């Protein structure tokens, strides 16, 4: 395809679709979005009545953004009426499966535990995804074997953002490299400086090297006979270049010239910021990254707005700061924001206090997957491997 661009009919070249917003349009969209005040997420009152609102997103390159919640009312934080409270049987099954996967854990406590108390500590997890596109150019080259050169004399080269390409699926990392049209030119090969060959570094271009057998004397030191390795010359042919003193230039294939062009590199990246509200538990927060929760809010736009009404104040604060941070990071000329998505999940988390052999212990069951974390499992076999 690249050769068709260089030598073939340039009118047949296609650079993709025009589905992306132009930089000017993206800037206008940003300006219009800044005129709206308040959050793009629904207020908490709408969450309580189970309403689901759909909002139309602007731009051609994305689906309609949906900002809504599940039909059920989101439970209050640390409330006994929490609808995500895991049942006792599910807790026992999860704890038994957890113990069975540990090499040195005996399963007796998990089979015969007596649950004393279940404490729901369900927590909120906020996630901001900013799908960006960045463009950069660099000089590239290839061997030239003759033919048409699409240089600036044919037409003025476009700017990086004037080239339209088909973007990947939203929120998917991807990279593409495209030769810039009308940016080709011929020039000397920098590797061989236009000579087509490079000097052999082993023999310094001489084609021969000092005979190590006779130390360049041409005679054997033992009987003063002629050296059989160099035939009495004191030098032998360089093995590296086979006596030529030069190496073929691999960059230009002995031609001495290269076809240079500007290469456009396009990078799509899904930039993520995530925050889990402090749940006042002893469960290390990084364990919550291993599980999924119940999505109670999803908001997708070209540019989302901070959440202004939510029962957890830290979620509102993090929404505001993370959106401002991404706006500052990707407001440069090399980047543009194609789409943003913010979600809030309610992550199930239950603290279990149980009795085993007259002593109290505890563990946590968390996530839709009912994963278990136990810091003080009571029955471990302390074995060592020699």
Tens digit of each residue's pLDDT (9 = 90 or more) over 334-376: 899 999 999 999 999 999 999 988 899 999 999 999 999 998 8
Q: How far apart are CA 349 and CA 119, in angstroms?
A: 9
Exposure string for 345-384, b = 16+ CB within 10 A, e = fewer: bbbbbbbbebebeeeebebbbbbeebbbbbeebbeeeeee
Q: Indicate if the pLDDT at residue 241 is higher than 60.
A: yes
pLDDT band per the 50, 70, 90 thresholds, residue 22: very low
What value does the mean pLDDT take over residues 270-276? 96
* Distant-in-sequence, close-in-space partners of 386: CB < 8 Å, separation ≥ 6: none
Q: Check residue 17 and give its pLDDT.
A: 34
Q: Is 296 a residue whose pLDDT tops 80?
A: yes
Check pLDDT > 80 for residue 307: yes
Q: Of 134, 138, 148, which Cα lies nearest the Cα of 179?
A: 138
Q: Identify the band that residue 377 occupies on the pLDDT scale cut at 50, 70 and 90.
A: confident
Q: How does residue 382 score in pLDDT terms, banded at 50, 70 and 90?
A: low
pLDDT at 227 over 80: yes
The answer to whether the CB of 372 falls within 8 A of the CB of 107 is: no
The whole-number average pLDDT for the span 231-260 is 90
Instruction: Quote the pLDDT of residue 237.
Output: 87
Cβ of 133: how many Cβ atoms within 10 Å? 24
Tokens at residue 211, please?
């005979």
Question: What mean pLDDT do residues 298-323 have?
Answer: 95
Mean pLDDT, to the nearest integer, of 137-145?
A: 95
Q: Average the pLDDT over 189-200 and give the result.
A: 93
Sequence-separated (6 or more) residues with CB below 8 Å from residue 169: none
Predicted local confidence at residue 222, as pLDDT: 74
68-82, 257-271, 294-308, 360-374, range with the lowest pLDDT: 68-82
Name the band, by pLDDT with cuts 50, 70 and 90, for residue 236: confident
**pLDDT at 84 (0 to 100):** 58
In this prediction, residues 221-242 reach a mean pLDDT of 84
Question: Band of the pLDDT at 209, cuts 50, 70, 90?
Answer: confident
Lowest mean pLDDT among 28-32, 233-237, 336-340: 28-32
Q: What is the pLDDT of residue 85?
A: 60
What pLDDT is recorded for position 75?
36
Tell me what percent of the residues of the chain surpass a pLDDT of 70.
Answer: 76
Average pLDDT of every residue of the chain:
78
| Bigger pLDDT: 234 vs 362 | 362
Classify burial at 300, counting beta carbons within 10 Å of its beta carbon; exposed 0-12, middle 13-18, buried 19 or more.
buried
pLDDT at 70 over 60: no
Between 186-195, 308-317, 329-338, the lowest mean confidence (pLDDT) is in 329-338
Percent of the chain with pLDDT over 90: 47
Q: Which range among 6-15, 168-177, 193-202, 348-357 shows the weakest confidence by mean pLDDT?
A: 6-15
Q: Which of 54-58, 261-265, 332-336, 340-344 is the least confident region? A: 54-58
């Amino acid at each position: 395809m690249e050769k068709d661009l260089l030598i073939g009919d340039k009118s047949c070249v296609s650079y993709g679709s025009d589905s992306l917003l132009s930089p000017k349009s993206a800037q206008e969209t940003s300006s219009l979005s800044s005129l709206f005040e308040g959050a793009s997420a629904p207020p908490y009152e709408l969450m309580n009545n189970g309403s689901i609102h759909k909002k139309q997103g602007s731009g051609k390159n994305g689906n309609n953004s949906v900002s809504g919640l599940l039909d059920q009312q989101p439970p209050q934080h640390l409330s006994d009426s929490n609808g995500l409270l895991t049942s006792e049987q599910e807790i026992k099954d999860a704890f038994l499966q957890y113990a069975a996967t540990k090499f040195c854990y005996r399963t007796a406590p998990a089979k015969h535990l007596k649950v004393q108390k279940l404490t729901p500590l369900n927590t909120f997890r906020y996630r901001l995804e900013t799908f960006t596109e960045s463009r950069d150019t660099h000089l590239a080259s290839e061997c030239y074997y003759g033919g048409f050169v699409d240089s600036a004399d044919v037409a003025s080269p476009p700017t990086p953002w004037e080239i339209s390409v088909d973007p990947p699926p939203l929120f998917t990392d991807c990279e593409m490299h495209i030769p810039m049209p009308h940016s080709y030119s011929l020039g000397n090969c920098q590797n061989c400086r236009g000579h087509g060959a490079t000097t052999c570094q082993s023999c310094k271009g001489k084609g021969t090297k000092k005979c190590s057998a006779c130390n360049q004397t041409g005679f054997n030191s033992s009987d003063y006979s002629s050296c059989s390795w160099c035939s009495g010359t004191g030098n032998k042919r360089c093995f590296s270049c086979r006596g030529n003193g030069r190496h073929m230039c691999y960059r230009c294939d002995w031609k001495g010239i290269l076809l240079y062009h500007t290469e456009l590199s396009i990078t799509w990246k899904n930039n993520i910021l995530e925050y889990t509200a402090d749940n006042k538990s002893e469960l290390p927060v990084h364990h919550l990254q291993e599980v999924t929760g119940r999505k109670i809010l999803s908001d997708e736009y070209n540019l989302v707005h901070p959440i202004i009404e939510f029962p957890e104040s830290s979620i509102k604060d993090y929404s505001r700061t993370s959106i401002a941070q991404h706006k500052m990071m990707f407001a440069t000329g090399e980047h543009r924001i194609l789409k943003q998505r913010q979600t809030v999940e309610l992550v199930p988390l239950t603290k279990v206090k149980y009795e085993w052999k007259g002593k109290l212990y505890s563990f946590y069951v968390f996530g839709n997957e009912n994963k278990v974390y136990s810091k003080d499992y009571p029955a471990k076999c302390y074995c060592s491997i020699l």
